Chain A
Amino acid sequence: MARAVSRNTRIGWTIAAWFVALLIFFPILYAIITSFKSEQEAIAGFDLIPSFTLESYREVQSQYNYFRPFMNSVIIAVGSTVLALLVAIPAAWAMAFSPTKRTKDILMWMLSTKMMPAVAVLVPIYLIFLRTGLLDTRTGLVIVLMLMNLPIVVWMLYTYFREIPGEILEAARMDGATLGQEIMHVLAPMAVPGIASTLLLNIILAWNEAFWTIQLTTTNAAPLSAFIASFSSPQGLFWAKLSAASTLAIAPILIMGWFSQKQLVRGLTFGAVK
C-alpha cells in the first residue's frame, strides 16, 4: 500500500472490515460464550456475557476423557498428511518439471476420484478393513485419509512447483551441481512455503473429516469427530455441554490455523496467481 490514505478513509474501512469479520466469526464466538454458561442460561435468550462457569467442561470431561480422541485426531491428521506429502512431492515434482502431454489429464482424473460419495463405498471398505484387521486402528484411518486427500495435495504442490522457474535449475546444473545439491540448495528453499501451506491445509481437511473417522472406529482410534457425536442430541437440550464439547473439538485446529495463518495464505493459491 504505497499510496497515502486519509485517516478518515482508513477508519471507515476499518469499521466496515471489523463489522464483517465479527459477523462471520460470531457463530463460533457465540458457541464459545455458551460453553461458559449454565444450561438454563444457554436457552434463556440472547446474552453475550456468560456466568463463566466451567461446569459444562467438567461434565464433558467426566463423560468422555478428552485426551484420547485429541491424541488420535493429532496422530491421524498429521500422519495422513505427512504420508500424503511423501507420496505427492515426487509426483508433483515430476509433473511440474517433466510434464508430458497427459499431465493435465492425470491431474483432472486424480481430482475426479474425489467425486465418489463416501457412503456408497462404506460397506466394501468396511469389509476390507475387517479382513485386514484395520478396523479401529489409527493406521487404517491414516491410510484412508491419506488417499482421500492425495489428489488435493498433488494438485496444490504441482501448481506451486510450476511457478518455480526452470532456468534456475539449468543454471545450477551448469555450475555442476549434483541432483542432491540441486534439490537441497536450490529447490528446497523455494518449495518450502508451498509444502508448508499444503501441509497445513491438509491437516485441517483431515482433522475435520467426520464420516470415515466415525464409521471405521470404535474406541482405540476414535478421534474428535466421534467425541462430538457422543454429545449431540441427548435427551434434553444440553447446549452448554454441546458448546463445550464443540469448543474442545475445534480449539486445537483453530489455534493452529491462527498461528500459521501467514504460511497458510502464502501457498494456498492452487496456482491461482500467475
Chain B
Amino acid sequence: MSYLKRALLGASALTVMGIAAQAETLTIATVNNGDMIRMQKMTAPFTEANPDITLEWVTLEENILRERVTTDIATKGGQYDVLTIGTYEVPIWAKQDWLVPLNDLPAEYDAADLLPSISAALSVDNTLYAVPFYGESAMVMYRKDLAEAAGVTIPDSPTWTDIKTAAEKMTNKDGEVYGICLRGKPGWGENMAFLTAMANSYGGRWFDMDWKPQFDSPEWSEALNDYLALMTNYGPPGASSNGFNENLSLFQQGKCGIWIDATVAASFVTDPANSTVTDMVGFAQFPNKEGVDNHGNWLWAWSLAIPASSDAPDAAKKFVAWATSKDYTAQVAATDGWRSAPPGTRTSLYENAEYQAAAPFAAMTLTSMNAANTTKSSVQDIPYSGGQFVAIPEFQGIGTAVGQQFSAALAGQMSAADALAGAQANTTREMTRAGYIK
C-alpha cells in the first residue's frame, strides 16, 4: 500500500512540476472537422510570433470530444486551455461560470465585425464567452441542371410546397437520382437539428411557456408527416441512417436533386476535388410553410472558448484571437484559396469581392445567417433560446431520444402518430424530472 501511495504522490509531484516548467503549453481540444484540421497545420505564424507558447492538440470525434470536455469542465479538471464548442454549449456553460469572458479582446480583433446573429448566440448578457471559428445556418442546395430538365424552378425563398413539387419532378429512382436527401440518422445534432428547424418553419415549437412539450400540436404532426412523405416517396433508400456525411457524399455523387442542410456544405459540394456536380448547384433559403414567416432559424458556430479552470488564460486568449482573426482568414485564402476560408463568422468576409467571386454560395449563406434568430426561433411564444436546438442542458439527452423515435418512424418501424406520442411522453418525463414542469 505504501508503495502505491508513494507512486501516486510521485506521479502527482511530477505533474505539478510539469505544469510549473512549461507554464505556456496550451492544450487545445478540437473536433476533427476539415476546417479545424487545417488550422492545426497553419499555426506557424502564431508560434513564430509567440515562441514561448507551445501548442498541444487533442483532436477527437465530435461526440467523444463533447463527453471528454464536459466531464473535465464540470469537475474543474483543468486539462484543457482552449475548447472547441458549439453555440449550444456556450450559453449553458457561461451561466455556470465555466468560461472565461472574452470582452477584453484587443481592438485589432474587431469584435464588431462578427456577424450579429453569431455574436448574439455566443454572448450572455452582452458578454462574449466564445469566439466563432466558423459558422453556419441551413439552406437549400439543389441541382440546377435537374431542375431545368424537370421543368421546375426553385425560388430564392421557397415554400415546402415548392420543395415537394420539385422533389417529385426530379426523382428518377431507376437512374439512382432521388428528389430529396434529408437527415434521418438519430441524434440531437443530426436528424433533430433538421426536424427542429423544419418544425420551426411550420410554426411549431418544442415547449410552451410552461415547458410543456408540444409534440401533440398540429404543427409538429404536419411537419413530421410531410417529412416522412417526402423521404418515403422521393428520398434515397436507407435514409434513416443518413446524417450530414452520408448526404454530402450522395449529393457530391449526383444522387440527390435537393439537399437541405448546413450552409458549410456549400463549399464541399462545389469543391472540384470531391464533387461531381460542382457547377450545377443552386442555392435557396431554408423553406417555410405558406403563411409562416420563419425559415427555421438554424444557427451553429464551432467556437473557441477558454475554460475558467485553464492555468494559462492569457496565452489562451492570444491564441483564440489569432485563430478567429481576419489575418487567419487571409492566411487560409493565400494558401488554399478564398473558397476555403472559414465561413459564417465575419461581415468583412462577405464584403470581400474576391470571396464573393470565389464562393458562389456566399450571398445565400449570408442571407440565411442574417435571417436566423436564435432568441425567438418560433412564431409562437417560447421560454427557451436556440434555433435548431433548445439551449437547456437536458436537450442532448431529450433530443437524441426523440430523434430515435422519428428515425424509427422513417425506417418504417412505427407510425408518425406513435413516434410523436412516444416523443411527447418521453420528453414530459425528462422535463418533469429536471424540474421544469412543476
Contacts and interface: CB of A to CB of B under 8 A. Distances in A.
B241 interface: no
Contacts of B71: 122-123, 126, 215
A234 B34 contact: yes
Interface in B15-55: 15-16, 27, 29, 32-34, 37, 40-41
Contacts of B264: 235
Contacts of A70: none
B11 A139 contact: yes
Nearest to A131: B12
Nearest to A133: B12
B61 A137 contact: no
Contacts of A140: 11
A132 interface: yes
B230 to A, nearest CB: 23
Nearest to A39: B274
B7 interface: yes
A236 B33 CA distance: 9
A234 to B, nearest CB: 4
Contact of B33 (A127, A229, A234): A234
Contacts of A122: 71
Interface in B214-261: 244-246, 248-249
A218 B27 CA distance: 8
Contacts of B75: 123, 126-127, 130
Given A218-B27, A218-B79, A235 B68 contact: no
Contacts of B64: 214, 229
Contacts, number: 97
Nearest to B30: A230
B436 to A, nearest CB: 24
Most chain B Cβ neighbours within 10 Å, of A40, A139, A233 = A233
Contacts of A214: 60, 64, 68
A134 B32 contact: no
B210 interface: no
Contacts of A123: 71, 75
Given A127-B75, A218-B58, A237 B244 contact: no
Nearest to B8: A132
Contacts of A135: 77, 79
Given A123-B71, A139-B7, A235-B34, A64 B12 contact: no
B15 A235 contact: no
A210 B41 CA distance: 27
B268 interface: yes
B12 A134 contact: yes
A269 B48 CA distance: 58
A135 B13 CA distance: 13
A113 to B, nearest CB: 18
B77 A126 contact: yes
A231 B8 CA distance: 33
B176 interface: no
Nearest to B57: A219
A136 B274 contact: no
Interface string A128-165: 00101111110110000000000000000000000000
Contacts of A43: 249
Contacts of A230: 32, 59-61
B208 interface: no
A99 to B, nearest CB: 26
Contacts of A63: 37, 40, 59
Nearest to A227: B59
Contact of A234 (B7, B13, B61): B61
B286 interface: no
A97 B115 CA distance: 75
A122 B8 CA distance: 19
Interface string A22-47: 00000000000000000110010000
A130 B8 CA distance: 12
A20 B79 CA distance: 47
Nearest to B37: A63
Contacts of B268: 235-236
Contacts of B14: 133, 137
A146 to B, nearest CB: 11
B249 A237 contact: yes
B104 interface: no
A137 B11 contact: yes
A233 B11 contact: no
A137 B15 contact: yes
B215 to A, nearest CB: 28
Given A62-B41, A214-B64, A236-B34, A222 B274 contact: no
A64 B79 contact: no
Contacts of A62: 41
B111 to A, nearest CB: 27
12 contacts: A126-B71, A132-B12, A133-B13, A133-B14, A133-B16, A134-B11, A230-B61, A233-B62, A236-B245, A236-B268, A237-B245, A237-B249
Q: Which 3 A-B pairs have the closest CB atoms?
A: A133-B12, A230-B59, A133-B15
Given A132-B11, A133-B8, A215-B68, 16 more contacts: A133-B11, A133-B14, A214-B68, A218-B29, A218-B58, A219-B27, A219-B58, A229-B64, A230-B32, A230-B61, A232-B61, A233-B61, A234-B33, A235-B33, A235-B268, A236-B34
Interface of B: 7-8, 11-16, 27, 29, 32-34, 37, 40-41, 56-62, 64, 67-68, 71, 75-77, 79-80, 244-246, 248-249, 264, 268, 274
